[in-house]
Structure 1
């Protein structure tokens, strides 16, 4: 039995590599530019079909078009248009049950002649489900059977062999993105709406997490009366681990705050009798505060602006209802 001979390593020419990559980018950029004049009445009709949809957009496609379809479905779903992907091969073996009469089907195929996609069209048509197709061939079977066809044809692939889907899949992806964003704007979809579908992402944390969600409350709030001694204030600060303590009256109205910075200034002031001074004489009056209904990111911005590391949380009557510091924001991954 002959042993397989390992291929001789090829030392690539840097200029050839750069030229090849630039050719790919130029080819795909040209394919995208060619889409602009095709955003026409058919595109508007596709948007109207989807906006009127009472169900979901069911995206389907085979092979590389399927990979693009999955991404388009994910983009639609995250920008206010409920959508999911169904593999056309699996659809013909039971997954067609996932497609309901109130849905819209969005089918992707570069050739428009993909057998697996064409095979499920009669079932879709029998249910009266609207069909939007994105293909690279306006005269294809899929394009002719679609209620609305979006032309994503390209003159050439970026692959020098003309075989690997490159410019064609890029064009389909961009057409899908154009559809998703046009629908987003038509729905008045906001950044807050986007955050609700991305609660674990950084944007979700910035737009959904409120002060009330992360602040220390109840016994976790450092607080002392104005007549408290310096020692009592330090003990309270040490126990609560926030680097400060609120100074409050009997009804927990905020009178001021005593911080590590106030302590250092007192230690540096020879006129201060550290044994007998009251915390009310050392506190910062009218400190920066924030409301519990504010976003956590607003606390981060306030801390950064005023170069402070902790905030007291007060209600509309200036009662102290919470406290937090920069470490709470870090743990919540707001900063």
Structure 2
């Protein structure tokens, strides 16, 4: 029987029923000499009780214990660095906010036998923030034991996640492939495998990182007074989890400008000062007492400057100004 959990909130919220997630249904999406890609879905018509993530585990069929479990929010995973011609066992379970579900049935799959002959070799790559193009050197004509009918080119993220459509079949007359709609500043693994009349052949893999884009805007910018001539400025770094701006900042440009000498006179052109830092806080010194400063913080990386964040603050009072007439 499926377990049900009642979650009670405050008097202003309705009660929520959470069920133990049912076991996912696993399929084998692709197999090679050193990886197996698994995908899964919940039984038809089931919501799974507000699933937050999945936990999976695998082992060689001859081993007694599974390797350490790993969590993911994806419904597909490529397990790499496997042994050729070996049987593996895979299981996955769904989790919600209060309980772990039932493990899936064991799914068994063999990696393929390592091919014979010599492997193609990497030639060059061309990269943008969302595309990778790769070329390779063909196997020399007349090589013993090799009759290449084409190439299989696959792409996966270094963290093991991959997508179904990131597999291309290339004819033996071509030695290049391109992948589009990728994430910036992300390391991908591209594997080129020869296709032979007797099946999958030899292969090579290459790690390639997409170019960066400017980082996101800093958040939580706060300015506090330390003394009459110093301000502490702090902020929160861009997290890099936004798919539109996933690249992290490498440093920050902090600029500050005197806007108004509150006790004495307005300032028309006091100039702008700046400093660089890799931290998420800085102390600005040598300021005028009881005066308004505009502070701007801009995140930066190798791709350029992100969007600036601005805030103003009045320094502390030291003493009243005394104006001396000529």
TM bucket, shorter chain: under 0.3
Please tell me whether Structure 1 or Structure 2 has the larger radius of gyration of its CA atoms: 1
TM-score with structure 2 length normalisation? 0.26
Larger helix share, 1 or 2: 1
User: Per chain length, whose mean CA-contact separation is higher, i.e. which structure has more relative contact order (CA < 8 Å, sep 6+)?
Assistant: 1
TM-score with structure 1 length normalisation? 0.26
